[in-house]
Amino acid sequence: MANSTGGSTGRANRPLDRSSHWSVAAGAQQGGRQSTAVTGIDVLFEPFTLNDQITMRNRIALSPCTRNRAENELEPTAGAVAYYASRADAGLLVTEATLINENCQGYIDTPGIWSEAQVKAWAWVTDAVHDRGGQIFSQIWHVGRLSHPHFTGVRPIGPSKVPTRGKRRQVGVLNLYHVWPRAMSETDIRQVLDDYRRAARNAKAAGFDGVEIHGANGYLPDQFLRQCTNKRTDAYGGSPQNRARFALEAVDAVASVFGPERVGLRLSPAAYFGLMTYEPGDNDGYIHLMEQLNSAGLAYLHVGIVDDFVEYDYLDGRTSAFMRRHYDGVLMGNGGYDAATAAAEISRGGIDLISFGRPFIANADLVKRLRHGEPLRPYSRAVLDELR
């Protein structure tokens, strides 16, 4: 998340103008990286049909961005209603990461979607977005070993009892010591999968158009996929098939509620965040997962990367290119793009959709500004602090 001390652990080679953390101003807003073909941004504003249930009015999505503003029992606020409603002209909004149960919180004031009060509060958000003709998915989230008893009162759980690297972590303004996770039992796994299913049911009840599983950035599905955090010897560890099992079962759980057409999944095979390290062979878990998803009929896969222009030797290039090679369905690109680079990437077939994070936080009217070539307000910490 924005305020963690994770930084980048990706062993990139041939980095291109790399911004190592998203707390720095994004090149996109500063007119940083420009594509050579600056013409043709019109492709961004074309409607895009995801499947027979969802058509986006343009190819632009709001990338999920944690706002740390939840109140009361971790409910979204009136500020959240205004935040999402004012961005509803995107083809799709994806909410800030939203907790699936009371035991998986790792950051301050992040909203949940397990209680009735939370569902009611989210319904204000979805209503406001729908009133403006928009569509919105809930990004559902379990942070696994990165949760903290400061918030939950219980020890974190993860695939294995592997400590989080580093002595301390920063959570908002708090300095907390990492807590060793407990290895999940099979009962824990079944419970968490039930919680994903309940989160999807609640999202449906709150009026969301679908859900995106947060499988990126070092959170629980990522922890199962990676060998550095998954030392299990049961059906959820070891082989690529076993490491991908949890993510596939989470997809099945939420697809049983919404249908696969209304489910997205975010993945970050570059291991660039969340205190992850890449180990040779990790790719095989991602490749197996994506190959299985080729026939699952999901709404989309979403690239999770802070800068998609970084090339990783172990991915044989860029993150989006790695995902494109193994996934046949709709790919939502993300990470350090501006209108020109996004349009160029879509036009050459590298991605189908683009999500913007920092540019959209700083510019509620991003779609309009991009369409008319108006200058963008730069993203900064101060902009984030203004959010309500």
Ligand X SMILES: Cc1cc2nc3c(=O)[nH]c(=O)nc-3n(C[C@H](O)[C@H](O)[C@H](O)COP(=O)(O)O)c2cc1C
* Binding-site ranges for ligand X (CB under 6 A): 1-2, 22, 26, 28, 63-66, 96-97, 139, 214, 216-217, 266, 304, 306, 334-336, 356-359, 384
Element counts in the chain: helices (H) and strands (E) = 12, 17
Nearer to ligand X, 160 or 384 (CB): 384
DSSP three-state, residue 141: strand
Is 219 assigned a catalytic role? yes
Distances, alpha carbon 90 to alpha carbons 129, 351, 363, 384, in Å: 10, 17, 12, 20
Nearer to ligand X, 139 or 164 (CB): 139
Q: How far is the CB of 315 from ligand X (least distance, A)?
A: 17
Taking alpha carbons only, the member of 229, 260, 74, 58 closest to residue 151 is 74
254: left (phi over 0), alpha (psi -120 to 50) or beta: alpha
Q: How far is the CB of 233 from ligand X (least distance, A)?
A: 30
DSSP three-state, residue 379: coil
Nearer to ligand X, 184 or 339 (CB): 339
Q: How far is the CB of 186 from ligand X (least distance, A)?
A: 28
Task: For 314-348, give one letter per residue: b (16+ CB within 10 A) or e.
Answer: bbeebbbbbbbebbebbbbbbbbbbbbbbbbbbbe
Strand partners, 71: 75
Q: How far is the CB of 225 from ligand X (least distance, A)?
A: 15
CA pair distance 241, 248, nearest whole angstrom = 10
Nearer to ligand X, 158 or 304 (CB): 304
CA pair distance 27, 180, nearest whole angstrom = 36
> Nearest residue by C-beta to ligand X?
357
Q: How far is the CB of 378 from ligand X (least distance, A)?
A: 12
Taking alpha carbons only, the member of 384, 373, 284, 317 closest to residue 45 is 373
User: CB-based contacts of 362: which residues, under 8 Å, 6+ apart?
Assistant: 29, 376, 377, 378, 379, 380, 383
> From the candidates 84, 219, 278, 337, which is the catalytic residue?
219
Nearer to ligand X, 181 or 264 (CB): 264
CA pair distance 273, 111, nearest whole angstrom = 21
Q: How far is the CB of 238 from ligand X (least distance, A)?
A: 27
- Residues marked as catalytic: 219
